[in-house]
Amino acid sequence: MCELRSVKERQVRIDGAESATYSLTAAALLCGGGFGANRWFGHDMLIRNFIFWLSSKRGVTNAIARRGMKYGFARRFVAGETLAEALTASDELCRAGRHVSLNHLGENVTTEAAAREVCASYLEMTEQMHAKNLAGNISIKLTQLGLDLSKELCGALTLSIAKRAAELGRTIEMDMEGSVYTDATLDIFESTQRETGNCGLAIQAYLHRTEKDIQRLAPLRPKIRLVKGAYREPANIAVQGKPAVDANYRKLTTLLLEGATRGLYFPAIASHDPFMVTHAQSEAARLGLPKDKYELQMIYGIRRDLQQQARDAGNILQVYVPFGTDWCPYFMRRLSERPANCWFVLRSLVAESSS
Ligand SMILES: Cc1cc2nc3c(=O)[nH]c(=O)nc-3n(C[C@H](O)[C@H](O)[C@H](O)COP(=O)(O)OP(=O)(O)OC[C@H]3O[C@@H](n4cnc5c(N)ncnc54)[C@H](O)[C@@H]3O)c2cc1C
């Protein structure tokens, strides 16, 4: 597991040259008041990397964490800091015909006690969702359940959550994290799903290996959540650039939907990209796959217009609902996916701090 951690550190390491570039970017952002939306988009990649770099700076994340909930900008993407707030938000979504997937934010715990605490909180989430009769499930992150400490511990905690959910007639889903965790996540997913049969797994379209992984999972008849992938991965592991990732995403969508016609998968197409959503809908129609044999998934607060369109089209729509006090890294990832979101944060700060 030490090896896991050192590879992970290499993945997020920022060297001096990058750091200098980011300082210049910061200066440009702060001084160049004329940054219009188009210029902003022209610098997308640099900004995206800059936000990744910022998210590794404790001082910055602490400052954002202090202000985020107070000024409300974090609430756009995070349902609240407590389970009660997340359940209230979920209840509203379910009343509007959505399913939800609750996620307690946080990653990479460093002690067994912390992993067991997270496990207890996932069990509590499952019980509460069941008691409130909310449609959907919980999404778990394996590094929150001690994957850095011990694969056995993480597997045992995951199994205990899946078993309790199964007793209640409910499902769970597993997020996919950085590529250093892919093998271990697949192993734990396979062994848990084999035993309980109620698990879904996120699979990242940008990884070269993903088509083979999807084929490997077919015998388990799983729910597969197809995502583009949210981490920075090198070219030997992942395709680079939006056109290539999109092409892979479309190809894998078709593969999953074709598999669904033979009962091999329950595909969950998780994207806010209208082209990916349209592709899934038209491929499902071409294949004669009924709308209850696959679903669309989107994240809380993102592309709410597209979420409504999916419901209007009669698709099952599951909304990923994150909550918790440790929301900053997640929030920074949402900013990096769409740097225009930074304007929304800045506007909220300026408007609300001057009122
Ligand atoms: C339900 C769900 C679960 C996920 N689980 C995982 C996981 O387990 N592991 C993982 O690696 N990744 C996960 N992701 C994130 C995913 O990998 C992508 O990083 C993210 O969804 C952005 O890709 P996209 O498909 O939405 O398309 P993009 O090509 O990134 O964006 C297409 C369009 O979507 C809109 N959009 C996208 N992101 C935002 C945003 N943050 N704010 C506002 N608008 C936005 C914009 O209009 C943009 O033009 C998940 C995504 C979803 C929807």
Instruction: Summarize pLDDT for 202-213 with one digit per residue, the tens.
Output: 999 999 999 999
CA distance to 138, 140, 163, 174, 342, per residue, from 171 (Å): 8, 11, 9, 10, 35
Q: Which residues on neighbouring strands pair with residue 104, listed in sequence order?
A: 323
How far away, in angstroms, is 337 Cα from ligand 1 center? 7
Report the residue among 209, 271, 318 best suited for mutation to probe ligand 1: largest number of ligand atoms under 8 A from its CB. Answer: 271
The helix (run of H) or strand (run of E) holding residue 127 is helix 112-131
Q: What number does the ligand 1 atom closest to the CA of 202 have?
A: 8
Which distant-in-sequence residues (6+ apart) come within 8 Å of 133 by Cβ?
none
How far away, in angstroms, is 288 Cα from ligand 1 center? 27
How far away, in angstroms, is 228 Cα from ligand 1 center? 7
71 within 8 A of 61, measured Cβ to Cβ:
no
Closest-CA residue, ligand 1 atom 32, reads 273
Tens digit of each residue's pLDDT (9 = 90 or more) over 15-70:
223 333 333 333 333 332 222 333 334 456 666 676 666 666 666 666 666 665 65
Q: How far apart are CA 160 and CA 311, in angstroms?
A: 33
| Rg, the chain, Cα only | 20
327 within 8 A of 74, measured Cβ to Cβ:
yes
Share of the chain above pLDDT 90, in %: 66
Residues with CB under 6 A from ligand 1: 175-176, 202, 204, 227-231, 242, 270-273, 276, 297-299, 302-303, 320, 334, 337-338, 341
Report CA torsion sign: 219, 263, 228, 100: negative
Single pTM value for the model: 0.84
